[in-house]
Amino acid sequence: MSQRRPLPSVVQFNQLLTSVTKMKHFSTSLHLFNQMCSLGLPVSNYTMSIAIKCCCQLYRTKDGFALLGCCFRRAIAPNQFIYSALLDGLVLEDRILEVEMLFKKLIKQKLCEPDVVMYNTMIKGLCKFSINVTALALLRLMEQTNCKPSIVTYSTIIDSLCKDKMMDDAFKLLNEMVYDKRILPDVITYTSLICGLCNMGRWDEASKMLKEMEDENISPNVKTFTALVDAFCKEGKVKEAEAVINIMIERGEFPDIVTYNSLIDGYCLRGEMIKAREIFDSMTLRGLIPNVVTYNSLLNGYCKNLNIEKAVQLFHEMTGKGLKPNVVTYNTMIQGFFQVGRCVDARKLFDEMHAQGQIPDQCTYGIVLEGLCNNRQVEEALSLFHLMGDSRLTSDIVVYTILIDGAGKCGKFHIARNLFHGLSIKGLKPVVRTYNVMIGGFCREGLLGEAKSLFLKMEESGCPPNNITYSVFLQGCLKNKHYDDVEMLLQEMDDRGYSLDASTLSLFIDHIAAGLLDRSMLKLLGKLVY
Task: Tell me which residues touch DNA (CB under 7 A).
Answer: 9-12, 14-15, 18, 21-22, 44-47, 49-50, 53, 79-82, 84-85, 88, 115-118, 120-121, 124, 150-153, 155-156, 159, 163, 186-189, 191-192, 195, 221-224, 226-227, 230, 234, 256-259, 261-262, 265, 291-294, 296-297, 300, 326, 328-329
81 or 498: whose CB is closer to DNA? 81
- Minimal distance in Å, beta carbon 292 to DNA? 4
Query: Residue 81 or 473: which CB sits closer to DNA?
Result: 81
Number of helices followed by number of strands (H, E) in the chain: 30, 0
Q: Cβ of residue 174: shortest distance to DNA, in angstroms?
A: 11
Tell me the closest approach of the beta carbon of residue 514 to DNA, in angstroms: 43
Query: Amino acid identity of 198?
Result: C
Could you give the dihedral angle defined by the CA atoms of residues 283, 286, 289 and 293, in that order, rounded to the nearest 10 degrees? -40
CA pair distance 157, 133, nearest whole angstrom: 10
Structural contact between residues 343 and 372, judged by C-beta atoms closer than 8 angstroms:
yes
Instruction: Give 150 or 207: the residue with its C-beta nearer to DNA.
Output: 150
CB closer to DNA, 60 vs 479: 60
Least separation in angstroms between residue 45's CB and DNA is 5
Task: Give the contacts of 53 (CB within 8 A, at least 6 positions apart).
Answer: 21, 26, 64, 85, 88
Instruction: Choose among 340, 362, 336: nearest CA to 349.
Output: 336
Listing DSSP states for 30-92 in one string gives HHHHHHHHHTT----HHHHHHHHHHHHHTT-HHHHHHHHHHHHHTTPPP-HHHHHHHHHHHHH
| Minimum separation from the CB atom of position 47 to DNA (A) | 7
Toward DNA, which CB reaches closer, 234 or 433? Answer: 234
For residues 117 and 381, which CB has a smaller minimum distance to DNA in the complex? 117
User: What's the Cα-to-Cα distance from 308 to each of 341, 347, 365, rounded to whole Å?
Assistant: 11, 15, 20
Question: Nearest approach, Cβ of 150 to DNA (angstroms)?
Answer: 4
Q: To the nearest whole angstrom, how small is the minimum distance from the Cβ of residue 315 to DNA?
A: 12
6 preceded by a cis bond (ω within 30 of 0): yes
Quote the least distance from Cβ 265 to DNA, whole Å: 5
Q: Is 386 helix (H, G, I), strand (E, B) or coil?
A: helix
Tell the smallest beta-carbon distance from residue 296 to DNA (Å): 4
Q: Which is nearer to DNA, 308 or 478 (CB)?
A: 308
Between helices 292-304 and 327-339, what is the axis angle to 10°?
Answer: 10
CB 368, min distance to DNA, A: 18
3-state SS, 174-235, equals: HHHHHHHCCCCCCHHHHHHHHHHHHHCCCHHHHHHHHHHHHHCCCCCCHHHHHHHHHHHHHC
Closer residue to DNA (CB): 300 or 377? 300
Residue placing its CB nearer to DNA in the complex, 159 or 445: 159
**In the complex, minimum distance from the CB of residue 135 to DNA, in angstroms, rounded to a whole number:** 12
Residue 297: CB minimum distance to DNA, A: 5
Residues in the chain: 530
Judged by CB, which is closer to DNA: 138, or 399? 138
What does residue 10 show for φ and ψ, rounded to 5 degrees?
-60, -35
Measured CA distances, 304 to 123, 296, 334, 338, 369 (Å): 38, 12, 12, 11, 18
Q: Which is nearer to DNA, 173 or 188 (CB)?
A: 188
Q: Are 29 and 67 in contact (CB under 8 A)?
A: no
Three-state DSSP at 320 gives helix
Q: Which is nearer to DNA, 100 or 256 (CB)?
A: 256
Q: Interior CA angle at 170 toward 164 and 175, to 5°? A: 180
Shortest CB 154 distance to DNA, Å: 7
Nearest CA to 454 among 408, 410, 495?
A: 408
Measured from the CB of residue 180, what is the shortest distance to DNA in angstroms?
17
CB-wise, 10 or 70, nearer to DNA? 10
> Distance between CA 406 and CA 413 in Å, rounded?
9
Return d(Cα 402, Cα 434) in angstroms, integer: 8
Cβ distance to DNA smaller for residue 56 or 381: 56
Neighbours of 118 (CB within 10 A): 21
